[in-house]
Every structure is written in C-alpha cells, then in structure tokens.
Amino acid sequence: MKFKSYAKINLSLDVLRKREDGYHDLCMVMHSVNLYDDIDINFSDDGKISLSTNLSFLPCNNKNHAYMAADLFFKETGIENPGIKINIFKRIPVSAGLAGGSSNAAAVLRGLNEIFDTKLSKEQLAVIGKKIGADVPYCIYGGTMLAEGIGEILTPLPDLPECPVVLVKPDINISTPSVFKRIDVKSIKLHPDTKGIISSLKNNDLNGVCKRLYNVLEAPAEEVLAESGMSGVTGHIKSIMLDCGAIGTLMSGSGPTVYGIFSDENNAKCASEKLKKTYPSTLAIYQ
C-alpha cells in the first residue's frame, strides 16, 4: 500500500525555555507543503522490518525514523510482525529543516494503523510518534498548526491561503542539536509575532502572514553555516527571492532550507530558475 509523507515549513519558530530534559519549549506555526515522499509498505513473510530508499546514504536500520516507527508500532500494539518491507522514495531534502524524517515516521505509523486495522486515533499515534521525535506528532496531523511544548501540543489553525512556495536547500547538512546548543534563551531579542500570524491566518491574509515570518533559530543556524564556509548564504537566497517578487522569506526549522512565499506563479518560476543556477536543490511547489 502507498502513503504520502508531506514536508513542512515553519511560518514561525520561537524558543521559550530550555527544559530539564535538554529539549526546549517552543511555540511555532507549522504548515504542510505539497512536497512529499512516497512510502510503500508491503508484506514479506520473514517476520522482519526491511527498509529501502532511493538515497544510498540514508541508514536503513533502527537509526532511520521510519524503521523506528514500524518497530514501535509493533511493540506498542502487541501485534506480531509478519514481516514488512518499507520502501521510501525521497523527494524531501534530507537534514533540511523540513521534517522529512519525522514525516516518514508519521506516514509509517498511519500506514501500519490502516494496514493492520488497529483503529488507533491520531492522538494515540501522536503519543507513539513523540517517542521517535518532537515533530512526529505534528506530522501525524499535517496542515497548518500551532505547535507548543516540544512540538507535541497541537492546535489546528486555518490553512495558509494557497500560494506558490520556492524551497532552497544549500548543499550542506546542519545537525539540529548543534543549532539548539547555540541558543541562549535569555539573549533572544526578537520573538515572532505568533498572535499576529494566527490572526492573519484567520483573516485569510497571506501578506499579513508573510510580513511576520520569523524564526529565532535562523541566527544560530547561520553561525553554523558560517563556520562551514557558507557565510551569507541565507541572505543571498532571500535577496534573489525578494528580487523576483517573493512576499516573504524564512529559514525553516533549524535549517538550512530557506523558502520564499509568492503570490504569483511566474515570480516563483523566475526565482526558482535563477536560484537553481547556484543551488541545484531548489524546488518550486505550486500548492
């Protein structure tokens, strides 16, 4: 059976405090975009979980979130694994701030719930998903959501009005913990206007959302990029997007992907063609 595993972007990301367990309490507005990996789940009769993907560098063992999801599903439900083969066709850039791995885990949980007719609710799947990663609960639901706590306290929001989005993943992988490690919550001077974003969503006001896009992880992620010799890359991508008419730009999650929101498809096409020359991993998404 085939399942779709959607990428997300952050319309905002705020870090509120560091918790005792090392995680951070966040307040973020997440939005699913029309970019997805294909997850194919079939039976085998060897009693094992086997995983394959179209990207040779990805682990296919219990380090992969999709594998972890399948393993946890059988442990939590008590169902004996008859043997399953999971194949993932990746389109979502990896280690990019787009929740690709978390989304794959969520799709495997939803998929196995359907295949084995376990009838777990989304809430129950989200509780299992949280054990895999902080973004997995959101990925169980998708759509436009306010995510609080470590990311698992979710409130549905009105969908972002349909708009073309251009995503650029610079050719470098950033580790999420390395970005969070640089955050000193007390020294964050600017916070996103989350309330303003929510009321703009309620008013179907794309411009209102776009002028408030803000991510407090962008500055520490840029420090990490600079240390890897990619100083100024975020600003460069944003300036090309804005020159082509983007109405808002932001880094998603802990980066390094930068996205631009457009109101016009031709502007998005122009930006994506220009950006592809320097950044091969540029994707234009028409919602």
Contact between 212 and ligand C5P (CB under 6 A)?
Answer: no
Q: Does 259 contact ligand C5P by CB under 6 A?
A: no
Q: Is 177 in the site for ligand C5P (CB under 6 A)?
A: yes
CB of 66 closer than 8 Å to CB of 84: no
Q: Is the dihedral of CA 203, 206, 209, 212 positive or negative?
A: negative
Nearest one of 122, 119, 118, 57 to 90, comparing CA atoms? 57
- Nearer to ligand C5P by Cβ, of 147 and 241: the residue is 147
- In the complex, what is the shortest distance from the CB of residue 199 to ligand C5P, in angstroms, rounded to a whole number? 25
CA dist 147 and 15 (Å) reads 12
Minimum Å gap between C-beta 18 and ligand C5P is: 8
Is the CB of 217 or the CB of 237 nearer to ligand C5P?
Answer: 217
Structure token pair of residue 71: 């393993």
Binding segment for ligand C5P (CB under 6 A), chosen from 83-91, 176-184, 214-222, 223-231, is 176-184
* The residue count for the chain: 287
Q: Would you state the structure tokens that stand for residue 133, as one six-digit string?
A: 């990663």
Residue 17: CB partners within 8 Å, gap ≥ 6?
A: 24, 25, 185
135 is catalytic: yes
Q: Tally Cβ neighbours within 10 Å of residue 110.
A: 23
Q: Does 24 bind ligand C5P (CB under 6 A)?
A: yes
Q: Would residue 130 show up in a list of annotated catalytic residues for this protein?
A: no
For ligand C5P, which is the closer residue by CB, 78 or 177?
177
Q: Is 180 an interacting residue with respect to ligand C5P (CB under 6 A)?
A: yes
Give the interface segment with ligand C5P, choosing from 21-29, 201-209, 217-225, 277-285 (CB under 6 A).
Answer: 21-29
Interface with ligand C5P (CB under 6 A), residue total 11
**Token pair belonging to 157:** 């929001």
Q: Rounded to whole angstroms, how far apart are CA atoms 224 and 247?
A: 27
The CB-of-151 to ligand C5P minimum distance in angstroms stands at 5
Rounded to 5 degrees, what angle do the CA atoms 172, 71, 92 make? 30
Give the span between the Cα atoms of 150 and 269, in whole angstroms: 35
Of 14, 37, 135, 238, which residue is the catalytic one? 135
Does residue 133 touch ligand C5P according to CB under 6 A? yes
CA distance 257 to 49: 31
The residues facing 87 across adjacent strands are 40, 52
Q: Specify the amino acid at residue 26.
A: L
**Interface residue with ligand C5P, options 9, 29, 134, 224 (CB under 6 A):** 134
Q: How far is the CB of 139 from ligand C5P (least distance, A)?
A: 11
Q: Is 97 near ligand C5P (CB under 6 A)?
A: no
* Span of 70-78, 175-183, 209-217, 244-252 interacting with ligand C5P by CB under 6 A: 175-183
Is 118 a binding residue for ligand C5P by CB under 6 A? The answer is no
3-state secondary structure of 28: strand
Active-site positions? 8, 135
**Rule CB under 6 A: which residues touch ligand C5P?**
23-24, 26, 133-135, 150-151, 176-177, 180
